[in-house]
Amino acid sequence: MSTDEPPLPDPQTLFECAPCGLVVTKEDGTILRANQTFCHWIGFDSQALVGRRFQDLLTMGGRIFHQTHWAPLMQMQGSVAEVKLDLVHHDKHTVTMLLNGVRREHANGTFNELALFGTIDRDKYERELLSARKLAEGLLSEKMAADAALLDAQTQLNRAYEKAKRRASFAEQMVAIVSHDLKNPLTAIKMASDILAQGERTARETKLLGHISQSAERAQRMIADLLDFALARVGRGIGVSPTSQDLHTIVRQSVDELRMAFPEATLLHQSIGTGNANLDADRVQQIIGNLVANSVAYGDLAQPITITSRLEENQAVVSVQNHGPVIPASLIAVLFEPMTRGTDTDTDSDVRSVGLGLFIVREIAMAHGGDVSVSSNPEDGTVFSVYFPSGAVAQ
């Protein structure tokens, strides 16, 4: 050893002040020597311990465990490790320690050399670990219960959704059937009123027949919208049969018919460009009819309603302009959804519908591969424009 190194404590000091309890016993457990650390931990002085059996310091459970477990292990394998024992303190409270022991044979006999360690920090750690484990198990159990509840809720929601979907589909099919079946009696009413109007009638009778005819026409428009709506919602979609058509002629004919249907409104037609477009003439007239009816319902009839047909190089456009109140921005976003009206008010009018007109307009435009837009401001009024796709125009 280098002379520069400080000297180590003498063996006696190392034994007495070791950071663990050290005990030497005979094979039968009789204590021959115990260090100060061990004596301090259990409250006895070394003289009081010498001659006592180590197992007599244990609790009753510890004595049984000594006799059945670790003493036989010491005999058979010559050592034990991390045996947890409860010792009785001089003041009668329990002190828990971990025991490591070896059995050594010497010239003057066989001895058990025991090292004992306090478990206060270890026990605290184990309690915290056990508490954390219980908490984790509790949270896992709650998560599993929540997952099961969520799965059950999803299952019930899916069932409710499927049930609601079946009901909605049935209702839409019923609407389609009823709307289709109502066409025939309404057509008969319209024809009967027209025939009766041809004869000589008093002014009052003529007026009543005019009301009947107008009401039948309005009911026919509503039924047509309901039938198209039902077809669109049940997945069949609105059918179109595009052919090469003179857009301006289609619009002009439609405007002429609408002037008779809405005599209180001033309808103007503007045409721009030349050429034909690949369109379904009946559906285009339906678009114009719905947009004009919407303008009559919500526009200012003191000012004209302008219907414009425009042919461009890559598209055909039909637009309808009125000068009624500006449509609120909150409504524009949902204006083309079914059952939506173009105003927040609920003013009665003979031209009001069930709120499907603009939805049908968009569906017809999309069936052609096109789209629809709306702008509304105080300067230009409200303008609905329907765009038919690139390639629809043939010069």
Instruction: State mean pLDDT over 242-271.
Output: 90
Report whether CATH 1.10.287.130 matches the domain 125-233: yes
pLDDT digits (tens, 9 = 90+) for 111-161: 999 999 988 777 787 778 888 889 889 888 999 999 999 999 999 999 888
**Which stretch of 203-207, 253-257, 343-347, 380-384 has the lowest confidence by average pLDDT?**
343-347
Report whether CATH 2.60.40.10 matches the domain 11-118: no
Residue 274's contacts (CB-CB under 8 Å, 6 or more residues apart) are 311, 395
**Which stretch of 96-100, 104-108, 197-201 has the lowest confidence by average pLDDT?**
197-201
Place of tokens 């394998």: 77
Distance from C-alpha of 242 to C-alpha of 96, rounded to nearest angstrom? 94
CATH code: domain 243-394 is 3.30.565.10
Distance from C-alpha of 220 to C-alpha of 199, rounded to nearest angstrom? 24
337 three-class SS = coil
Per-domain boundaries in the chain: 11-118, 125-233, 243-394
What DSSP string describes 342-369? SSS-----TT--SS-HHHHHHHHHHHTT
pLDDT score, position 351? 46
pLDDT digits (tens, 9 = 90+) for 324-369: 899 898 888 888 887 665 554 444 444 444 567 888 888 889 888 9
Q: Do domains 125-233 and 243-394 have the same CATH topology?
A: no
pLDDT score, position 345? 47
- DSSP alpha helices (H): ranges in the chain? 11-16, 36-42, 46-49, 60-65, 71-77, 120-198, 203-233, 247-261, 281-298, 329-332, 357-367
Q: Which of 377, 351, 358, 354 minimizes the C-alpha distance to 297?
A: 351
